[in-house]
Amino acid sequence: MTPADPVLDVLNEAQRNAVTSDPDHCTLVLAGAGSGKTRVLTHRFAWLVKTQDIQPKEILTVTFTNKAAAEMRGRIERLRGQPAGGLWVGTFHALARRMLLRFHEEAGLPGNFQILDREDQKTLIRQILRDLDQPRKARDVADAARWISLKKGEGLRARHIEPENKREEVRLQVMERYERRCDQSGLVDFDELLLRCVELLRDHSAVQQHYQLRFRHLLVDEFQDVDDLQNAWLKLLAGDERPLFVVGDDDQSIYGWRGARPRHILDFQKNHKNVQVWPLEQNYRSITPVLEAANALIGNNDDRLQKRLWTDRPERDPITVFSAPTGGAEATYVVGKIEQWVRAGGRWDECAVLYRTNRQSQPFETNLNNRQIPYRVYGGIRFFERREVKDTLAYLRLCLNPNDDVAWQRVCNVPPRGIGAGTVEAVRTAASAADGSLFAVAQEQVKSQPTSRAGRALAEFEECMAALREETQGCGLAEALRRILDKSGLLAMYQENDRELEEVRSENLGELVNSAAAFEDAWEPDEDDGPGLTEAFLDSTALQAGERGEGASGDAVQLMTLHMAKGLEFPVVFIVGLEDGVLPMTREDSPLEEERRLCYVGMTRARQQLVLTHAYERLIFGRMSSGLVPSRFLHELPDEYTETEVPKDFIPPASAFLARYGAGAARPVPAADLDVPGPGTAVVHPKFGSGIIVEYEGRPPQLRVQVRFDDMDAGVKWFMYDYAKLECR
């Protein structure tokens, strides 16, 4: 009897073919939603080690989230029956950080460089906008941060960019100052980790050769989400000889707005020689109606690699499409369905409400609150982003690096010491003029103005930091945090607040110390001259703060955006707000095909029940918006797998017919006794092109018609009929 093989026996035929594909050739595993892509990656790792004389440390495995990296390390440990210590399994950012720490001098970085998380990055950009006398509202800061991120994702420095207009001139000035300030403080943001590492490998052939000799195989997860910089990093590591084994799904590429390029997976066969392609189409998550509807939806995208999901599960409950008169009625219906699920024996946390934008959560939160149903909104403040946690970590950062400007400014007056905004501004202005750090300039001001109020306050802070550096030197990480909390006055400051806040923040600070103790127990020094314990902990917290999601907590209904839902699954899924202009969203950086992929991702989160809802009017930014048109995605779903529900006694507008059956089935419907084309009539406009009349109101000569145009940029428009210049087809 042949002994069981734990690496291959648990795989289906398609998975086994992918795992055992020729290790000397590049491989593309086209893994559909729910088809077991993580299993394929981990079993490929185990198969290489078991059968190909490959050492675990010779395999570089890249993921997109820390959660995925941890899951992969755990699976590899179980398959090998050995601890996964020393493995190079992690996110692009975490792996780039390891390389930069090993070769920091070649990369032009100090050995104790720190990672700037996204909140601190925005703080620094806000200060720079103030220095440039530019608007610095949240959207201005976010716009500048996003522009810098996109440029770095294209592999560009400020010196490489030629501004095309006045707006870009300002953005470029911000980027120039931002780069300089980060260099002065020994700080790198997430994008800088990759860009600096690409430059390191590109410009130092000895470093590139070091890693090419070390890594004989490169495994990459979620390849559809790589941007140009990540792809360049992989190419530099692979060279001409090391095969890439990539797993991804072009149908789930939904991050174009932050630089992801689906072209890298679509053109993988063109860009590499002798590529083996293995599609994984058997889905282990969803029932047939969900998969058939998702297949039909995504089939409307032209630029995609062909595959069709299927399952052998017997359940065939149809998808529900609910038409609500108002947004409030939509929320009431959804919450009622959730209660029905729980009454039948289900759990609250088995239900997820997915929406296109965060602002859509409000009516559902209100409804859940009113019915005293527990719920959780994803995307809230994560642990390492909480104020009291970041304050404590800023002190720890300053103990390591006094020239960390972001940390200095965060806590120079926390707890209050009399260092007012005017003093901080004076220090910042002087530091900018002298091209120096805030710490160095503050020391000079203490020397030159020792008796002034500002001088005394700055001196108090510097004395505090000097004492903390001495107190924390040589002690363990958790003990260092305890001493910082005690000696800095942070814990006492938080305990002066009201009792509820005191308890929450005290618990958070206690949890921070616990987290540090656990990290300390588990930490193993990096074999490549990695950072010390404290530096490694700070890097870990920054990387976790940069994660775009977090795990569920307790038995509560899950509310999140469609982007947040990627990688998750639930027995019951509601996708709400399916209206043109919302989903799909009409926005320049979110083309129709990516919006369709986003809807596809949402649909394939459902295991047992999928409910799609839309409303004909809802509150948007405090105003009632009526005449909303059901999403064009609804009429791309097959009739045999869907059923429509409407509230009792509610008669949907004529546009419901179009949303349900689409332009191909459109037919003229008489507009009462008026001698004009009614809803359902296909028309052509000389400026906006082809479309369909979906509503009308009034009577001649004041008759208005609403047309939904096929062109997403044109969207839905109202016209006075006499001036519409619409040609019926």
User: Hey, which residues are catalytic here?
Assistant: 37-38, 221-222, 252, 605
Nearest to 348 by CA among 332, 357, 337, 361: 337
**β-pairing verdict for 727-728 and 682-685:** antiparallel
Distance (Å, rounded) from C-alpha 205 to C-alpha 268? 25
**Three-class secondary structure of residue 31 per DSSP:** strand
Instruction: Report residue 200 as tokens.
Output: 């390191």
686-691: long-range pairs with CB below 8 Å, 24+: 686/725, 688/714, 688/717, 689/714, 690/729
**Is the peptide bond prior to 701 cis by the omega test (within 30 degrees of 0)?**
yes
Residue listed under structure tokens 């795989």:
11
- The number of beta carbons lying within 10 Å of the beta carbon of residue 137 is 10
Q: Are 353 and 378 in contact (CB under 8 A)?
A: no
Residue among 104, 145, 130, 123 at smallest CA distance from 407: 123
Sheet with strand 59-63: strands edge to edge? 88-91, 59-63, 217-220, 244-248, 27-31, 276-280
CA 600 – CA 592 distance, rounded (Å)? 12
Rounded to 10 degrees, what is the CA torsion of 307, 308, 312, 315? 150
Q: What angle do CA 498, 499, 503 make, to 5 degrees?
A: 120
| Neighbouring C-alpha atoms within 13 Å toward the C-beta of 460 | 19
Q: What is the DSSP string of 631-690?
A: -TTGGGS-GGGEEEE--TT----THHHHHHH-GGG------TT-SS--TT-EEEETTTEE
Cα 292 from chain centroid (whole Å): 27
CA 384 to CA 540: how far, in whole Å?
10
Residue 336 to residue 251: CA distance in whole angstroms: 32
